[in-house]
């Protein structure tokens, strides 16, 4: 640990310029009664608009990437050939048609998932209009006009109010307000200034005021906005490790069932019941895990998309998956756990003063303090002591002393009274300068508050009785509403939360206890953070954190999930594997939930897909062999009307279930933070047991409908 | 006492005996495989074979040890049979033909003990004791060694070391199999099993005429035949022969010997991974399947469907009066759910559903409780598959016993589960179209055409590829086609899975462990046991459903 960082003195608070709209305190996208991480609504119209894309994806070179669906496509081609060879047989045509539909439905699922990203990419492209850059020549004395695409790393460009920033870079001179709505969708402008952690600018955003000089840090074509377009369009999409593993399992199941079907023909010939190729192909398609095979890539794209909808850009799918596995969350105290500003919590008078007197003086002295702390004192006086807020204009002949970082005090001189409120040292000096004395218990009170993790402010007054200290205002960090419950939920999910703060251990412990985090790191330096991450990782844990400063960059890179705030430096954004465009650190929790939901959706649909096979066997096997071995008709427990109708019903069910599950694949399985045990029990009941039962019902209904068609049943 | 009650009481006695042995024996095996000390006799053996038993092996080295050792055993056994005609104590039997010698050598080295010969009419004392009985010990010890290597893969981290094959092989033989075999043989001899080197005797029959009976070192071979889940009988009638299995007690004792190591190894697994409850969960999975199969088998055999059986009053065809329906059902489930293949009754004569259960038991991969060692590693591979699917449903990339189930692990597990279906279905399908193969089935007995004839072939390859060794009588398997293909099925079905299991063990051992949290899938809970049973039944069961439908189901439902 390095030298302890003192709790921030109130004076230093008001110097920070808010760079953007305040953080949302309630996690976004959370509607009561709704699934926690619900996605956008699925619009059936998307199916129609995505149809051309789905047809385009029939190209075998594209299809081969999904082994299961490639087998179905080959099956479709073969059945079509067989149907052409005996064109009078309606059954062959029907099977061929439904096999093609199966493939198209699968492609449709993927196309719909991609389509949502495409719309976003189009909006982004509009921002990326060809800009003309004003490049400074070598000496820096004159400007030349070059196209934005002609910029090189290290070039210096000038932007003035109204200019579109031509490329990603850092401000090296000046300060400006910038409209970043093209990227973040947030209309409030942000401040960008040279030096410090607010220097990064993004190409495609617009300077609203002032003049800045930008040093270009990214090659044209590789800028943030280019990468964003690639990400949301899915062009840069690579299969994630878990997706690859699942694909291998699905491919091996496909091989097993291919084997079962290929060897069935010799068995059938021996039994004197040789099967038409079309029937065997139908059986094969029913058995291989088409449901999950068709929806697998849509699930992955939709998972990324759910993040994009929350204004989080994941640089890789791998990071999203890792988010589901995270077992330690490092959360910055300020802005994530607490509201970011200390607030007045109570007034503690010294002996001989009443609380009401103290409250009145505190309120009066704070009217000229526009910092959040000052406002909170006025609010507390009103809420707790019923003191109506007075306005500066109400008091005539008042001499207001506004809060400044130098005096670290505010107050008012009115009606022969002088009231002051401020940092302990400043107020004590003020009283002593005036020949007053500080009550003995004032020191005790401030110590008690400091030890409890709070910040004491003294209130003093000079009137006819002379200058004296009236009491202490207890300022404390206010934990955001609902955070405690969030941490309880996280604990249930097996995730440990660690609060990171620059406060001293006492203050940190007080807030950690109040917020209910599992652990805290006080007086944290970037090195401490790094060491903590490495320690957790050495124990096999995956760590997620947020950060924005350049000194966060190493830790962001080390963490398994590093979410950089968009307001942060380009170094931080480069190091992390996600960027939060809203710069809301609370979102880390949602990111974890989205990661988990992605994996759950994959698992649930895989289970459903495999469990479906049982019913399909009971439909198709008796249909194939009840002629040779009449006893096998006993297996026809669904009492399907005819062999042809049984096989066709199974194939139709197999195709329709894909379309029926597209909304689930896009939205993701309902997710609630509960223990692994409960989650497994619930999902097994819904998708395992449901997967066993649903096809029995579905196939029977389809068979009933088919048997109504004259000439078929 | 009614036959049903007798069967149930036998089952209860068996469970009680297994439960008594479970903890002490499982703990003992854990101690054997983790002890740093060598016994004096072991040191002598290491010096003789020139092995350094103290080095650690990575998975390729461990595998090379297994393959080299097994290849040497294969060649030795092959030559011993081919040269039998010139060996002493051969009871005058001739040398074995090349294809049958290959088949038998493959069979015993692969812990299968499929026999396309009749023991008393083909194999002399030397081949039986120096060849076959030796392989009964070492092939079992090899299986246990692979299982222990996989367990070490789970237990260890950040290392590729899986232990020492030679030490595991020798310890399994010297400290586990031999002592129990000696004790077990004494029990069997006391109960009437023969143990001698006498020749062939001609004895008179009750109804006139004579028959030949041989003597032999039967008890010593009988005990390891069961204990090592081998199954190769001294006599053709196997454990139905009164010299091998004289009464109801020896029958139950032999079933106990079959099951005691595979079940107790789950305790060893729990002990070595430091999490006894994980071992109990695997035990529970095996137990549920085993009990379920036994109950179904008893039910279908006692219900004895079919007019002939109804007329006879019981499904006693092919069963010994000494054991009854209950004892036979217990034995036949134990033998097909392990890689034993010993029989005390004729599987081909069981009801159609009974035969189907025997086949399904083998098709599940013989993992409940499975062969010595192979049962545990087969079950753990299935657990990995189940964890992979279910683990996703709790929102984490799957992990089992603190090890991540990633791309590499799933690839190896997927390869593992592909092997036996490929061998069983591939060879059965080929046998259905090749005239040579078909003649074995059709020409011997016209009776066994149709679905039962198909079952015979399906059973033969299921038994071979899963290293069971029992047979559905009726099929003449001593032909070049069946000797060769079943021989290949046995070798590939034994050693290819070992390749993937050891690679898996190596991959797991290299990982760093993931700590357990509330978000971790609890694999020691009953819910997971249920899920694992479901995964096994659906994934392996569905693979064979069409084949079973055309065999036992078609026969039983007609």
B544/chain A closest Cα distance in angstroms: 7
Contacts of A255 in chain B (CB under 8 A): 418
Say whether A256 and B432 touch across the interface (CB within 8 A).
Answer: no
Report the pLDDT averaged over residues A662-673.
Answer: 89
String of b and e for A367-376 (b: at least 16 CB within 10 Å)? bbbebbbbbb
Q: Using 50, 70 and 90 to split pLDDT, how confident is the model at A10?
A: very low
CA dist., res. B70 & res. B494, Å (int): 11
A332 in active site: yes
- Give me the residue from A271, A625, A676 closest to B519, CB to CB: A676
Q: Which of A284-293, B296-305, B434-443 has the lowest mean pLDDT?
A: B434-443
3-state helix, strand, coil in chain B (%, to 5): 70, 5, 30
Predicted complex ipTM? 0.92
CA dist., res. A510 & res. A527, Å (int): 23
B428/chain A closest Cα distance in angstroms: 8
Tokens 């203050």 correspond to what residue?
A507
Report the pLDDT averaged over residues A102-121.
Answer: 87
Q: How many residue contacts between A and B have a Cβ separation below 8 Å? A: 215
Q: What is the pLDDT of residues A434-492, one digit of tens each?
A: 888 787 888 888 888 887 778 889 999 988 888 888 899 998 888 888 888 888 888 88
Higher pLDDT, A614 or B441: A614
CB A620 within 8 A of CB B409: no
Give residue A236's pLDDT: 60
Q: Is B54 exposed, middle or buried (0-12, 13-18, 19+ CB in 10 A)?
A: exposed
Q: Using 50, 70 and 90 to split pLDDT, how confident is the model at B274?
A: very high
Task: For the beta carbon of residue A701, count every other beta carbon within 10 angstroms.
Answer: 12
Contacts of A248 in chain B (CB under 8 A): 407, 410-411, 414
Q: What is the DSSP string of A575-610?
A: HSSEEETT--TTHHHHHHHHHHHHHHHHHHHHHHHH
A672/chain B closest Cα distance in angstroms: 11
Tokens 């991450």 correspond to what residue?
A533
- Give me the residue from B410, B430, B432 closest to A248, CB to CB: B410
Collapse the DSSP code of A442 into the 3-class scheme (helix H, G, I; strand E, B; otherwise coil) and give the result.
Answer: helix
Residue percentage of chain A with pLDDT more than 90? 30
- Give me the residue from A248, A269, A617 closest to B411, CB to CB: A248
Q: What is the DSSP string of B16-49?
A: HHHHHHHHHHHHHHHHHHH-----HHHHHHHHHH
Say whether A540 and B514 touch across the interface (CB within 8 A).
Answer: yes
Contacts of A600 in chain B (CB under 8 A): 392-395
Secondary structure (H, E, C), A139-205: CCCCEEEEEHHHCCCCCEEEEECCCECCCCEEEEECEEEEECHHHHCCCCCEEEECCHHHCEECCCC
Q: How far is CA A678 from CA A596, A604, B124, B384, in A?
A: 15, 14, 62, 21
A621/chain B closest Cα distance in angstroms: 7
Q: Which of B519, B552, B553 to mutate to test the interface with A (most CBs of A within 10 A)?
A: B519
Say whether A262 and B429 touch across the interface (CB within 8 A).
Answer: yes
Tokens 């396309």 correspond to what residue?
B116
Contacts of A613 in chain B (CB under 8 A): 538, 542
Contacts of B532 in chain A (CB under 8 A): none
- Give me the residue from B514, B543, B554 closest to A631, CB to CB: B554
B270/chain A closest Cα distance in angstroms: 21
CB A553 within 8 A of CB A285: no
A300-304, A577-581, B107-111 — most confident range: B107-111
pLDDT(B24) > 50: yes
pLDDT(A257) > 60: yes
Q: Using 50, 70 and 90 to split pLDDT, how confident is the model at B310?
A: low
Report the pLDDT averaged over residues A576-604.
Answer: 88
Q: Which of B382, B385, B394 to mutate to test the interface with A (most CBs of A within 10 A)?
A: B394
* Cα B224 off chain centre by: 12
pLDDT(B371) > 90: yes
Q: What is the pLDDT of residues B313-357, one digit of tens each?
A: 667 888 888 998 999 999 999 999 999 999 999 998 888 899 999
Collapse the DSSP code of B270 into the 3-class scheme (helix H, G, I; strand E, B; otherwise coil) and give the result.
Answer: helix
Pairing, β A312-314 against β A466-479 = unpaired
CB B554 within 8 A of CB A633: no
Q: Which of A296, A317, A680, A684 to mutate to test the interface with B (most CBs of B within 10 A)?
A: A680
A321/chain B closest Cα distance in angstroms: 8
Say whether B538 and A610 touch across the interface (CB within 8 A).
Answer: yes
Q: Is A693 exposed, middle or buried (0-12, 13-18, 19+ CB in 10 A)?
A: middle
CA dist., res. B178 & res. A457, Å (int): 84
By C-alpha distance, the chain A residue nearest B522 is A677
Higher pLDDT, B261 or A30: B261
Report the pLDDT averaged over residues A149-166.
Answer: 86
CA dist., res. B378 & res. B365, Å (int): 7
Residue from A155, A179, A305, A332 carrying the catalytic annotation: A332
Give residue A527's pLDDT: 85
Domains of chain A: 67-115+240-305+594-708 (no CATH), 132-166+168-217 (2.70.150.10), 330-337+481-581 (3.40.50.1000), 341-478 (3.40.1110.10)
Higher pLDDT, B215 or A692: A692
Question: Closest Cα partner for A46 from A96, A103, A116?
Answer: A116
* Cα A47 off chain centre by: 26
- Give me the residue from A246, A252, A265 closest to B418, CB to CB: A252
Q: What is the pLDDT of residues A397-414, one digit of tens each?
A: 788 888 877 788 888 888
Collapse the DSSP code of A92 into the 3-class scheme (helix H, G, I; strand E, B; otherwise coil) and give the result.
Answer: helix
Say whether B543 and A256 touch across the interface (CB within 8 A).
Answer: yes
Say whether A539 and B515 touch across the interface (CB within 8 A).
Answer: yes
A401-410, A553-562, B243-252 — most confident range: B243-252
Contacts of B522 in chain A (CB under 8 A): 676-677
Q: Using 50, 70 and 90 to split pLDDT, how confident is the model at A15?
A: very low
Q: Using 50, 70 and 90 to split pLDDT, how confident is the model at B487?
A: very high
Q: Which of B281, B353, B395, B552 to mutate to test the interface with A (most CBs of A within 10 A)?
A: B395
pLDDT(A32) > 80: no
């Amino acid at each position: 640990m390095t030298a302890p960082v003192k709790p921030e003195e109130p004076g230093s608070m008001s110097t920070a310029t808010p760079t953007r709209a305040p953080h949302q305190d309630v996690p976004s996208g959370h509607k009561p009664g709704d699934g926690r991480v619900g996605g956008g609504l699925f619009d059936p119209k998307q199916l129609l608009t995505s149809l051309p894309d789905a047809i385009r994806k029939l190209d075998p070179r594209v299809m081969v990437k999904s082994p299961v669906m490639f087998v179905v496509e080959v099956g479709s081609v073969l059945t079509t050939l067989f149907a052409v060879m005996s064109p009078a047989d309606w059954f062959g045509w029907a099977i061929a048609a439904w096999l093609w539909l199966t493939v198209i439905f699968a492609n449709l699922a993927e196309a719909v998932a991609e389509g949502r990203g495409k719309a976003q990419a189009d909006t982004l492209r509009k921002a990326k209009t060809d800009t003309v850059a004003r490049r400074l020549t070598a000496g820096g004395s004159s400007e030349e006009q070059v196209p934005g695409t002609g910029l090189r790393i290290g070039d210096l460009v000038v932007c003035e109010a109204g200019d579109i920033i031509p490329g990603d870079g850092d401000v090296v001179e000046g300060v400006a307000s910038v409209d970043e709505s093209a990227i973040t969708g947030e209309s409030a402008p942000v401040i960008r200034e040279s030096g410090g952690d607010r220097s990064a600018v993004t190409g495609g955003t617009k300077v609203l005021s002032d003049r800045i000089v930008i040093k270009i840090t990214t090659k044209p074509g590789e800028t943030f906005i280019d990468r964003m377009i690639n990400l949301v369009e899915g062009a840069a999409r690579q299969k994630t490790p878990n997706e690859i593993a699942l694909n291998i399992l699905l491919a091996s199941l496909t091989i097993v069932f291919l084997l079962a079907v290929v060897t069935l023909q010799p068995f059938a010939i021996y039994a004197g019941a040789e099967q038409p190729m079309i029937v065997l192909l139908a059986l094969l398609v029913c058995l291989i895990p088409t449901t999950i095979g068709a929806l697998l890539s849509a699930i992955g794209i939709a998972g990324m998309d759910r993040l994009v909808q929350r204004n989080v850009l994941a640089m890789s799918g791998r990071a999203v998956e890792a988010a589901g596995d995270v077992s330690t969350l490092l959360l910055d105290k300020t802005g994530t756990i607490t509201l970011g500003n200390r607030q007045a919590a109570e007034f503690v008078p010294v002996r001989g003063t009443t609380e009401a007197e103290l409250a009145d003086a505190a309120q009066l002295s704070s009217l000229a303090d526009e910092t959040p702390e000052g406002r909170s004192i006025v609010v507390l006086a009103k809420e707790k002591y019923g003191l109506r807020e007075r306005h500066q204009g109400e008091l005539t002949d008042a001499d207001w002393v506004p809060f400044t970082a130098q005096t670290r005090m505010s107050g008012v001189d009115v009606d022969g009274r002088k009231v002051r409120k401020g940092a302990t040292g400043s107020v004590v000096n003020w009283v002593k300068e005036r020949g007053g004395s500080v009550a003995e218990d004032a020191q005790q009170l401030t110590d008690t508050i400091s030890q409890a993790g709070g910040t004491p402010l003294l209130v003093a007054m000079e009137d006819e009785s002379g200058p004296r200290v009236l009491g202490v205002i207890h300022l404390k960090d206010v934990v955001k509403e609902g955070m405690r419950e969030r941490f309880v939920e996280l604990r249930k999910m097996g995730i440990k939360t660690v609060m990171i703060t620059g406060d001293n251990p006492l203050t940190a412990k007080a807030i950690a206890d109040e917020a209910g985090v599992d652990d805290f790191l006080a007086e944290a330096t970037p090195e401490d953070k790094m060491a903590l991450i490495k320690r957790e990782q050495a124990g096999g844990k995956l760590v997620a954190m947020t950060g924005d400063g350049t000194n966060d960059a190493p830790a962001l890179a080390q963490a398994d999930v590093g979410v950089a705030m968009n307001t942060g430096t380009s170094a931080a954004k480069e190091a992390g594997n996600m960027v939060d465009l809203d710069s809301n650190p609370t979102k880390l929790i949602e990111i974890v939930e989205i990661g988990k939901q992605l994996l759950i959706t994959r698992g649930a649909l895989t289970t459903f897909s495999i469990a479906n096979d049982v019913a399909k066997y009971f439909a198709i096997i008796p249909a194939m062999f009840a002629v040779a071995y009449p006893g096998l008709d006993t297996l026809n427990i669904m009492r399907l009307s005819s062999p042809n109708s049984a096989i066709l019903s199974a194939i139709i069910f197999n195709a329709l279930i894909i379309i029926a599950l597209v909304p689930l694949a896009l939205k993701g399985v309902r997710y609630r933070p509960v223990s692994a045990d409960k989650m497994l029990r619930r999902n097994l009941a819904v998708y395992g047991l449901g997967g066993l039962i649903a096809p029995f019902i579905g196939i029977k209904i389809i068979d009933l409908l088919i048997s109504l068609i004259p000439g078929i049943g | 006492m009614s036959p049903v009650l007798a069967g149930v009481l036998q089952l209860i006695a068996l469970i009680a005996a297994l439960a008594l042995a479970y903890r002490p024996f499982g703990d003992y095996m854990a101690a054997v495989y983790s002890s740093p000390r060598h016994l004096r006799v072991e040191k002598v053996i290491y010096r003789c074979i020139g092995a350094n038993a103290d080095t650690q092996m990575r998975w390729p080295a461990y595998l090379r040890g297994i393959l080299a050792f097994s290849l040497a055993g294969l060649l030795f056994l092959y030559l011993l049979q081919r040269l039998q005609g010139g060996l002493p104590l051969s009871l005058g039997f001739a040398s074995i033909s090349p294809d049958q010698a290959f088949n038998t050598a493959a069979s015993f080295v692969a812990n299968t003990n499929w026999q396309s010969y009749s023991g008393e009419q083909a194999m002399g004392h030397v081949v039986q004791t120096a060849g076959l009985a030796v392989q009964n010990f070492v092939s079992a010890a090899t299986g246990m060694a692979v299982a222990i290597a996989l367990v070490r893969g789970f237990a260890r981290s950040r290392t590729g070391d899986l232990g020492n094959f030679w030490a595991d092989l020798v310890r399994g033989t010297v400290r586990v199999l031999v002592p129990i075999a000696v004790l077990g043989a004494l029990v069997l001899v006391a109960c009437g099993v023969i143990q001698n080197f006498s020749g062939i005797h001609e004895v008179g029959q009750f109804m006139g005429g004579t028959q030949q009976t041989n003597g032999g070192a039967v008890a010593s071979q009988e005990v390891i035949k069961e204990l090592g889940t081998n199954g190769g009988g001294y006599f053709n009638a196997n454990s139905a022969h009164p010299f091998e299995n004289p009464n109801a007690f020896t029958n139950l004792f032999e079933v106990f010997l079959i099951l005691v190591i595979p079940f107790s190894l789950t305790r060893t697994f729990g002990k070595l991974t430091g999490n006894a409850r994980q071992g109990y969960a695997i035990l529970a999975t095996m137990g549920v399947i085993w009990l379920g199969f036994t109950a179904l088998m008893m039910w279908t055999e006692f219900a004895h469907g079919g007019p002939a059986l109804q007329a006879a009053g019981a499904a006693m065809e092919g069963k010994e009066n000494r054991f009854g329906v209950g004892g036979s059902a217990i034995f036949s489930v134990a033998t097909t759910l392990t890689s034993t293949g010993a029989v005390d009754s004729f599987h081909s004569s069981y009801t159609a559903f009974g035969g189907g259960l025997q086949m399904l038991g083998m098709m599940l991969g013989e993992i409940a409780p499975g062969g010595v060692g192979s049962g545990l590693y087969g079950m753990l591979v299935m657990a990995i598959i189940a964890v992979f699917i279910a683990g996703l449903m709790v929102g984490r990339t799957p992990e089992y016993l603190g090890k991540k189930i990633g791309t590499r692990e799933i690839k190896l597990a997927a390869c593992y589960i592909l092997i036996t279906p490929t061998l069983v279905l591939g060879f059965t399908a080929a046998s259905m179209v090749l005239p040579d193969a078909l003649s074995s089935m059709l020409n011997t007995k016209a009776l066994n055409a149709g679905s039962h004839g198909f079952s015979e072939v399906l059973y033969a390859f299921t038994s071979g590829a899963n290293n069971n060794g029992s047979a559905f009588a009726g099929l003449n398997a001593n032909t070049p086609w069946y000797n060769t293909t079943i021989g290949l099925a046995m070798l590939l079905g034994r050693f290819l899975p070992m390749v993937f299991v050891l690679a898996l063990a190596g991959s797991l051992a290299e990982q760093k462990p993931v700590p357990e949290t509330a978000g971790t899938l609890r694999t020691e809970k009953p819910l997971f046991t249920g899920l694992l049973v479901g995964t096994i039944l659906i994934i392996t069961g569905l693979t064979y459903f069409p084949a079973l439908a055309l065999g036992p189901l078609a026969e039983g439902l007609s």
